[in-house]
Every structure is written in structure tokens, then in C-alpha cells.
Amino acid sequence: MALTLTGLPYTIFTDIISRLSATEAILCQRICRAFREALTRNDLCISLILAHFSRSLEGRRLRALLRAGDLGALESGDWAAVFARLARRYFHLGNAVPWKVVKVPVLKDDKRLRGVTPWNRFLSLNGKTAPFHFWDPAWTVASAQGLLVYPAPLGDDAGFRARDLETGAEVDVPFDMSGKIVRRVRISHGVLMMEWCERQPSRAGNGDAAIHRHYATAYTVRRVGPWDGVIPRRDGQVSAYSWSFEFLCECKIHHLGLPVSHQDRFFSTHNATHYVVYTWQPARSPWEDEPLERLTIWEFGNPSTYRPSQDPFGTANRDDSGPRIIRSMTNGQLREWAIRQSDTPALRVMALDDCTWDTARGSACGHVFFTEEEHRWSAGPHSSSNPPRLHRVKTTGIPLIGDGPRWVDDCGGGGGVNLPFCCDGRWARRLAGTDDSIYDGNDYSPENAWSNNNSSHTWPGRAPCWRHDDWPYVTLSEVFDAAAGVRVIARECFMLETLSVHIRPKIRIQGIGESGAKFTARGTTMSRTSRRRRRRTRRPSAARNGSGSSSSSSGSSATSHQSQTQTLDGNETVAASSSSGGGKGGVTTQGPDGQEVQFADDVWPEMMAKGFICGDERWLVGEDAQGDVTIIVF
């Protein structure tokens, strides 16, 4: 009897199949039944995942199970489905083409949703202007958990809903919007923070500004169910889970209240144990010559049912183990820490260390970080009269408690346009590495902030040098999945746009080859196959590299994007890509950190209306010009 390819010993057959790309291995399942049975074996698919996608979310979970020796979880997982999903995902990532696009309608009601006004600064050059600050979106995403929280347009019963990005299932968020104006919503570290104010003012302020009491309501967010949302089960049992929201506590944003106006502003951030809010109010009285600034740091403590919004005069009994203020600073103290903004504010964002609670000592620790930014073309009432030579980003960290030390990371942009004026950003943010084990660490301490590992990429104490990593382009937003080695950037060049109408902003992907192989720092692809064969990765064609989905690859001369649209459940619209054209989507260009794959031109208006994108290797979330949420699934 003749020996067939599938009848070869396992090690030999695995060595042969692993020399194919992931897409080619999927296509080989179409040859015959014997090939399909051989290529969907769990042990073979585990080997292929480790060979091609070891840094993906599923690959990292697989390596954790192997290190732990969890044979039960390894046997119950459907690794053939996981490998097929990864091949599809990285094919679309490598060609900057969505697998599917989901539209989620968002409530548009100025009486219920009124965001915090950004600083009055914009870019101005040669008589043309461009935004430098954007309004916060009315929605928020927990990227790693795959959870979107948004205000749903449900008529008089409008409220916030939580949508699972993996399953599409939605649950209600137990936040009552009646009589309230939502100012900002944010989810982080398993805590959903709803910042809001009373619709009716509590008293009249100076001038015409009415004062509204402002509060921040916190909920703990937990996944409920036996499935973790990552590895599907092999036994065919339906994988299901849901989300639960439990009231944690409620804090005051300002002890007196704030006007809902375009002059008063506040910034905030939180993690699992602390909430920090900074307020900025312009001078309104003749005896006030500078803005009133205040920084308040709250510690959550134990879950507390006490709500200050239901006790405006503070007469009810409070739970001493609940939230409490551990630090409060005003103008003079903020000046001593060099974070006061004064009349020319430059604050862009605030952040906290991932862990700010010392369990051994039973007290707060860590830092809160102020990230400031100034640009040479910045104009407007809040712009500095002494702008930097090019572009400056600065992060200052102050301790939650105690007198120091203070952390400062300042990238001032010294040097000329033709010289690399940022000496930190590109070196520390390389996407590829030779040791994948460094991407499994969870040490985000300042001591490791500048080391070449995963924590150096995501620690909030680093100045956001990515904002100017391709000067004179400005990177408006980025999605950096450091563990997976995938980076999505939204970049525009305001200077060149003032010279030509043909220069358009772009959204690009870094770190992925067109066939799903990883890029090194300088753009060549290095995978197990390429290391053995020492050849360059070829561009996949539509006939050879279909991933089993309805999308195919495209070149620079691809035809226009075609899509088929259908409505699901009355609250979303799904557009399944039938071609990966869409203008110039899939074009590979040389960026400052290696090769970049460019999305089609029409993706920008669908994602960047608020100048913000978020997500990870699995999906990309943004807002379109109509104010609805766009979810790109790879």
C-alpha cells in the first residue's frame, strides 16, 4: 500500500505542514477528507499555533496551560477552531482589511449627554486649522475584556448598555439616567466609572453660571459564566457567559459643584482602588486673577451603599470603611509639584499606576501621572506664548501619599526637522523580539519602565513619544497591543495637508506581515518558516491565501470596496467584507519603525470622528461622523 502524506509519522508531517503559512495550511483542508482530518487534530493545531501565533492572545493562553500542565483544559479546547480563527485574524490584520464591520447606534441627546469641554487649542498653519483636542466619546471600551459600554437610543427609557464584542450579547448597566446629565464614562481595571451631574442646578454661581452637583458612581464589572471568552470548547457545548455590574461606591467630583459650561473643565482617572479628579475653573471674581485648580484623590475602600447624591446636606450616617479623600491639593501645592496649569493649560490626560494599594502595609502607594503636550503650531486662547521648537510631551508623576519623589519624563523635541529629535520613543517601542517570554510579565514598576520588555511599553509614566514618532506627522491615537506585538496608529500630517488636498490622514497597522508573519523592527518578516527557508515573505494572492472567510487580499490597484449589509436584532448593522479593496487598503509602506500596512481611505471617517480609537489584535473600535460606534473585527 502506497504511503500517503497524511500517513507519515507525526513529527515528519508536522515539520512539513509548519513550513506552510497559516493560510496555506487552512487551504490544504480542502484537498480531501484525509487532509482535513489530519489538519484539524488538536495536537497538530497546538503545534501550528505555537509556530505561527505564539504571541497572540490565544497563543499566550496556550503557553500558560502548557506551563501549568493543565491537561484537562488542553483536551477540552477546540484548538482547530482557534487556529482557523487566528489564521483569519492575522490575514486580515496583515492586509489591513476588516473581516466584518459592526455599527452600534448611540444615543444623541444633549439634555442627557453633555461632555466636558476640551481645551481651546488647535493647530494653525498658513491660514488653515486642524483640531488639537477632541471631545471625549460617550462610550468606553475594556479592550482586553472585549466589553463596550455605550448609551443606547431606546426612547424615553434610554440607558447605558454593555455589549460583548466577542458574542454580541448585551446587558443593561444599572445606572438610572433620569434627572441626570452624563459628563463622562470610563471603564478600567474592572471598574466602570459614571461621571454625571444633576440636571437641575443646586444654586446660582457668580455671573450667569448655575452650579450643578457633580458625582462619580463606580460599579465593579465581572464576567459571569464558565467560559473565559478566549478558547472555545471541543465537546460542542455552547460557550456562554454574561456580565454583572455591582454598585461599588459614589464620590463627589467637586465639593461645591461645577457649572455645566464651556469654561469649567475636569479631568479624571481611576484604577481598581483609587479615583483621581482634577478640576479647572476660570477666574470669575475681580479678586481672582488666576484659575482655581484642585486635585482630589479618593480611595474606594470597601463597597459602600452610601450615596452623597442622595444626601446633599451630609446629614446621613456615612460608612467609614467606604470611599474617603486621602489627598487634596489646590493652586499653591500644585505649583510646588510643577503640575499647575494656570492660564495656558497643556494637560492632555491623567493616569494611575496599575496597582496603587500596598496590601502588606494596608495603605496607598504608587503615582498619579499628568501628561502635558505642547506643539509649535498650537493656537487658541489656551496656547502657550512660548511654544516649543517642534513638539513636546511631558509626563509628571506625583505620589498618592507622601512628599516624594516626583517622576518626570520630558521629551522636548530638541533638534531640527531632519534630525531624530525624540531619543526615547522608537528604541523603547520596538514591536518584535526574539524572546516571547518577556511578553508574559506583569511588572509595571518604575524600575522596569525603561527596560526592553512589555512593561516599558504600557507603563503610564512614560511620556507619549508616539505622538511625534514620525514628525511632522501627528499620531492622533494608537492601539498598542504590546503582548501581541500589534500596533494600530491613526496619523495625519497637518503641515502637508495645508499644501495639498491630496494628502489624507491614514490608519495603519504595524507589526504584522501580509501573510500573518511578524515584522522585525526594520520591516523584514521573521517567522519559523522564514528562518528555515531564509526567504522573503511573498504577498498572498486571492487564490492562494483565502482564510476561509468572505474576504480576499488586495493590491494597490484593487477595486473599490464592496460590502453586504444586514441588520441584526434591530440595534446593530453588520457589513461583511466581500472584497479587500476599498481604495488603497492593504498597501504596504515604509514607516519610521518598519513596514506599515495601510487601511483604505474610507476607514478614517468611520473611525476617527472623536480622534480616538481603542481595541487590541482582535478588534478596533472608533466613532463615525454620525456619532455611532464602529467596530472592526479582524
Residue 269: name the closest of 367, 197, 159, 146 by CA: 367
Residue 542 in this model has a pLDDT that exceeds 70? no
* Whole-number pLDDT of residue 592: 63
Residue 297: name the closest of 214, 369, 211 by CA: 369
Contact 104, 150 (CB under 8 A): yes
Q: Is residue 289 part of a domain?
A: yes
Residue 49 in this model has a pLDDT that exceeds 90? yes
Cell of 506: 491614514
Cell of 338: 510643577
* Whole-number pLDDT of residue 578: 35
Q: Is residue 454 part of a domain?
A: yes
* Model confidence pLDDT, tens digit, residues 341-398: 999 999 999 999 999 999 999 999 999 999 999 999 999 999 998 888 889 999 999 9
- Between 227-236, 283-292, 533-542, 546-555, the lowest mean confidence (pLDDT) is in 546-555
Q: Which residues contact 167 (CB under 8 A, 6 or more apart)?
A: 229, 240, 241
- Is the Cα torsion angle 565, 566, 571, 574 positive or negative in sign? negative
Q: Is residue 332 part of a domain?
A: yes
Between 592 and 333, whose confidence is greater?
A: 333
* Whole-number pLDDT of residue 375: 93
Cell of 540: 498572498
* Whole-number pLDDT of residue 420: 53
% pLDDT > 70, the chain? 77
* Whole-number pLDDT of residue 81: 94
* Whole-number pLDDT of residue 557: 31
- Cα torsion at 164, 167, 168, 174 (round to 10°)? -40
Mean pLDDT of the chain: 81
* Model confidence pLDDT, tens digit, residues 134-185: 999 999 999 999 999 999 997 777 799 999 999 899 999 999 999 999 999 9
Q: Is residue 562 part of a domain?
A: no
d(CA 196, CA 265): 13
Please state the domain count of the chain: 1
Query: Could you count the other beta carbons within 10 Å of the beta carbon of residue 6?
Result: 16
Residue 330 in this model has a pLDDT that exceeds 80? yes
* Whole-number pLDDT of residue 404: 80
d(CA 254, CA 290): 18
Q: Is residue 53 part of a domain?
A: no
3-state secondary structure 355-392: CCEECCCCEECCEEEEEEEEECCEECCCCCCCCCCCEE
Helix intervals (H) in 69-179: 71-76, 79-95
User: Mutual orientation of helices 10-17 and 42-52 as an angle, nearest 10°?
Assistant: 40
Query: Could you count the other beta carbons within 10 Å of the beta carbon of residue 449?
Result: 18
Residue 104 in this model has a pLDDT that exceeds 90? yes
Between 480 and 560, whose confidence is greater?
A: 480
Cell of 349: 490626560
Q: Is residue 448 part of a domain?
A: yes
Residue 508 belongs to what domain range? 101-514+593-633
* Whole-number pLDDT of residue 474: 87
* Model confidence pLDDT, tens digit, residues 249-264: 999 999 889 999 899 9
d(CA 295, CA 240): 42
Phi, psi for 83 (deg, rounded to 5)? -65, -40
* Whole-number pLDDT of residue 505: 82
Q: Is residue 479 part of a domain?
A: yes
Residue 570 in this model has a pLDDT that exceeds 70? no
d(CA 629, CA 476): 18
* Model confidence pLDDT, tens digit, residues 395-451: 999 999 998 889 999 987 554 444 455 655 443 455 444 344 444 544 434 444 433
* Whole-number pLDDT of residue 55: 93
Give how far Cα 163 sits from Cα of 26, 102, 141, 151, 423, Å: 31, 12, 9, 11, 41
Average pLDDT over residues 220-235: 85
Contact 532, 51 (CB under 8 A): no
Q: Is residue 274 part of a domain?
A: yes
Between 603 and 451, whose confidence is greater?
A: 603
* Model confidence pLDDT, tens digit, residues 57-84: 999 999 999 999 999 889 989 999 999 9
- Between 37-46, 328-337, 435-444, 549-558, the lowest mean confidence (pLDDT) is in 549-558
Question: What are the strands of the beta sheet with 292-299, ordered from one edge?
Answer: 265-270, 274-281, 292-299, 324-329
Give how far Cα 337 sits from Cα of 249, 334, 462, Å: 29, 5, 18
